[in-house]
Structure 1
Amino acid sequence: MSIDYSEKIPNNVDLAGDRKLQRALESWQPNFINWWKTMGPAVPTEDVYLRTAVDVGREGWAQFGHVAMEEYRWGVFLSEHNADRKIAFGEQKGQPVWQQVPGEFRAELQRLIVIQGDTEPASVEQQRRLGETAPSLYDLRNLFQVNVEEGRHLWAMVYLLHAYFGRNGREEAEALLQRNSGDLDSPRILGAFNEETPDWLSFFMFTYFTDRDGKYQLGTLKESAFDPLSRTCEFMLKEEAHHMFVGTTGIDRVVTRTAELMREHDTDDIAPHGGIPLDVIQKYVNFHYSVSLDLFGSEKSTNAANYFTAGLKGRWQEERRKDDHVLTEDAAHVDLVRDGVVTTEEVSALVALNHDLRNEYVQDCATGMKRWNRVLEKAGLDHRLSLPHVGFNREVGLFSGHHVTPKGDVVGPDVWEASKDRWLPTEADKVHVQSLMRPVYEPGKIAGWIAPPTNGINDKPFEYEYVHFA
């Protein structure tokens, strides 16, 4: 299933065989390019060393080379078709998957696709000006790689809207370019995608925590009985892995440099020495983790139950689960606050599916903590980073309306107000981090607040000229 790059819109879905659909997408394409020029990366470049998808198989699916950003070949790519695939969960478990949208689920499927599609351009908008303060050409290239692939993921959802949802789908595709991150009149749908990404520490946190939420959301849609959506998300997950790599290794390198400065100057307060103190890194972890947890929705959700029962949205790695994949007789425990303490409540497993997905995410996020703490341990430091309690700083779900400390204690509003500056980034913290954000565009050079990477991109050295400026 190689991708046809002779087409105006590269694709492996035989757009040429559906002229009406092809014309509709080609009419949307200029609007997308205009959005990219207006809301995409603000740094003018001649070309960037980017990877471009050329196939959807397991091996050799991408090629690398210098590409002019506005000439990047965004397109429509679905993973391989499996003619024997069956629905793996819900009331229709065991039946053939759908190649068209069942009328009774049309509105629900369209809504799921629109919400997923809305997150993709939002993150590009949030990161628009980050290139102006890139700590190295390597990092600038990684930012641009994330940006172009988020743009391609938008194309993935727009294709589904155009191909399967008629006029309503076309209107929703137009609206995806009309909303903008943080816009007071027309904001993005999900709260986390209206937050600023004003500095590179925030960017690394976003790509670690928020893109990791994206991984799990895509993983549930990959299980969908609507086969085109499943195949779309399966391929998107290949690209998403790099985005999380950027966050994981980015925070690695910040922690490494912080540890070096702490040892060199024998102090925790490395701000005067051009570093980011560990307590500030912890505050950024607390904020981005808690905001990302809100993206999973309420711990108890009848919508999630209905999506599962209908076959629209499964669980993470559904077919590896050792149960009946129907769940009508199963129970689960969800976290909540009762009588001023955090406790659990038994509910139907169907109602607790958001909670189940969130638990998978939490375990995954914990691996980053172990990784970064090994950096501190290797440096001979006693300090450790940690994830706050899942109830901390929540605005969505059963913890919203409660004040929970990072350790999991429920406190009153007075205690919260008096203590929150120890737990969340203050204006002074943000100002200090922002003060370090100075561009370093010379090949092989890097800003003083972050360590260089262990390896370059695609076997290229760190000193390689990943970006040529206009």
Structure 2
Amino acid sequence: MPDQIDYDAKIPNNVNLSEDRRLQRALEGWQPKFLNWWGEMGPTLATHGVYLRTAVSVGREGWAHFDHVEVPDYRWGVFLAERDPDRVIAFGEHRGEPVWQQVPGEYRADLQRLIVIQGDTEPASVEQQRLLGLTAPSLYDLRNLFQVNVEEGRHLWAMVYLLHAYFGREGREEAEALLYRNSGSPDAPRILGAFNEETADWLAFFMFTYFTDRDGKYQLGTLKESAFDPLSRTCEFMLKEEAHHMFVGTTGVDRVVLRSAELIREHDTMDIGAYGGIPLEVVQRYLNFHYTVSLDLFGSETSTNAANYFTAGLKGRWSETRRKDDHRLTDDSGELERPRDDGTWTRDEVQKILLLNLDLRGEYIADCESGVKRWNRILEEAEISFRFALPHPGFNRKVGINSGHHITPDGTIVDAATWRAGVKNWLPTSEDLTFVRSLMHPVYERGKIASWVAPPRQGINGKPFDYEYVYL
């Protein structure tokens, strides 16, 4: 497989697509349907060139090129990371065997399902964010939004390629369905709940790219371990692009917190809404919502499906090869904290292989804590006593063992009446949402930025903040 990407092809790729005419024709038939979907469901704001990063190589060096690009002309394509000819399966009952270049018949349905679920999330976030360009706080932020969008579009291409190349007619039908479902549609919603939520303002966008795209990082990380080598190599390359999405979220929330801290200091009050800032309590409530919705994406704490995927070699653990166990987990056990109906917590001993979702969720939570520490450091340096915190993993859950209970952010199990009385303090209220949206006025002038967010410390690719990132 070539390292360089062929940008002269109708569909840019590094998988020698021209050597498989049947597959090439099938993907060229899907391409105009994708472009129609992008035109209908992609970014609403029209532009005349966005300073975008485009992959030119999948190697460790020089894989990104920056230039102004007309967004509908972005060269979406099919890119897989370099193949390791010596790679072997790292876990499960096939551990030590060579990885698969084709789909084993007995695992066909499960692999297809995993690819479809991952593929369904990619266009969903584009649909959720399609109106945000109309209220961008700066040209820098507008550019970042478009960069996230086009790369999510390319990640859709990555999954569609696998469906077309390895799953025959059923794969082609599933690829069509990825464009038929739409985020929030009452008739054909996206598969996972978080991808049917509205992303109506830029604070929500920053929280989404911090928390929900971080879930994507961990899901892709487990698929990167897959014994199905084309899926592994696809996810490895996608992870490179996903890192930028999380950067947008991390630094975006940084800048909101920094600006709020500046306004608190300037006006000597925590109530900064009247001065065009977002109160820290509102930021915390947004954090609570997006974090807990993202936790639901990990599924139930105990899962026979996840255990079966692991045993079969389809989906591993985060950093599987670095783990210091037998990579089979048949004899290991772990603890599961579970709420009881009497309002107390108990711990059960469970086979570790059934706790793979919980294991991955634990890696994710530890990673999320790093952002909270960043944001609290900003407040500490500003000599503001308020501190952000991640709520208890049982709070506001719709999936898993906590979903039937009312659990407060500090982990207290309460009755329905207590929950109703307190929820306005824990999750964004309609008043919060209305207020934040009232701040969302577009700022399209070079070097200018909205009142509620601080400018970035540095621009993109060495460019200054006041660079003309987007031609409008």
Aligned counterpart, 1:395: 398
- Give the CA deviation at 1:58: 1.1
Matched, 1:465 2:454: no
- Give the CA deviation at 1:60: 1.2
Matched residue count: 469
Aligned counterpart, 1:81: 83
SS in 2 for 1:350: helix
**What amino acid sits opposite 1:8 in the alignment?**
K
Aligned counterpart, 2:443: 440
Aligned counterpart, 2:103: 101
Matches of 1:81 and 1:316 in 2, distance apart?
Answer: 20
- Give the CA deviation at 1:357: 0.1
Matches of 1:333 and 1:181 in 2, distance apart?
Answer: 36
Could you give the per-residue CA deviations for residues 61-92 of structure 1, whole angstroms, max 9, x where no partner exists?
Answer: 10000000011000000000011100000000
Matched, 1:369 2:369: no
Matches of 2:44 and 2:322 in 1, distance apart?
Answer: 43
Matches within 5 A, 1:375-386: 375-386=378-389
Matches of 1:168 and 1:389 in 2, distance apart?
Answer: 41
- Runs of 4+ in structure 1 off by over 4 angstroms are none
Choose which of 336, 353, 358 in structure 2 pairs with 1:355.
358
**What amino acid sits opposite 1:462 in the alignment?**
F
Matches within 5 A, 1:33-182: 33-182=35-184
Q: Which runs of 5+ in 1 are unaligned?
A: none
**What amino acid sits opposite 1:384 in the alignment?**
R
Matched, 1:423 2:418: no
State the TM-score, normalizing by the size of structure 2: 0.99
Aligned counterpart, 1:301: 303
Matches of 2:131 and 2:466 in 1, distance apart?
Answer: 23
CA contact (8 A) 1:126 1:193 kept: yes
Q: Which runs of 5+ in 2 are unaligned?
A: none
Matches of 1:73 and 1:212 in 2, distance apart?
Answer: 25
**What amino acid sits opposite 1:45 in the alignment?**
T
Matches of 1:294 and 1:344 in 2, distance apart?
Answer: 21
Choose which of 317, 320, 336 in structure 2 pairs with 1:315.
317
CA contact (8 A) 1:48 1:67 kept: yes
Matches of 1:351 and 1:94 in 2, distance apart?
Answer: 22
Matches of 1:279 and 1:436 in 2, distance apart?
Answer: 16
Matches of 1:333 and 1:93 in 2, distance apart?
Answer: 26
CA contact (8 A) 1:299 1:335 kept: no
**What amino acid sits opposite 1:386 in the alignment?**
A
Matched, 1:6 2:8: yes
CA contact (8 A) 1:342 1:408 kept: no
Matches of 2:459 and 2:345 in 1, distance apart?
Answer: 45
- Give the CA deviation at 1:334: 1.8
Aligned counterpart, 2:222: 220
CA contact (8 A) 1:342 1:409 kept: no
Matches of 1:458 and 1:266 in 2, distance apart?
Answer: 37
- Give the CA deviation at 1:333: 1.2
Aligned counterpart, 1:210: 212
- Give the CA deviation at 1:190: 0.2
Matches of 1:330 and 1:423 in 2, distance apart?
Answer: 37
Matches of 1:87 and 1:79 in 2, distance apart?
Answer: 17
Matches of 1:315 and 1:341 in 2, distance apart?
Answer: 31
State the TM-score, normalizing by the size of structure 1: 0.99
**What amino acid sits opposite 1:396 in the alignment?**
V
Matches of 1:15 and 1:274 in 2, distance apart?
Answer: 52
**What is the root-mean-square deviation of aligned Cα atoms in Å?**
0.5
- Give the CA deviation at 1:395: 0.4
Identity of aligned residues (%): 73
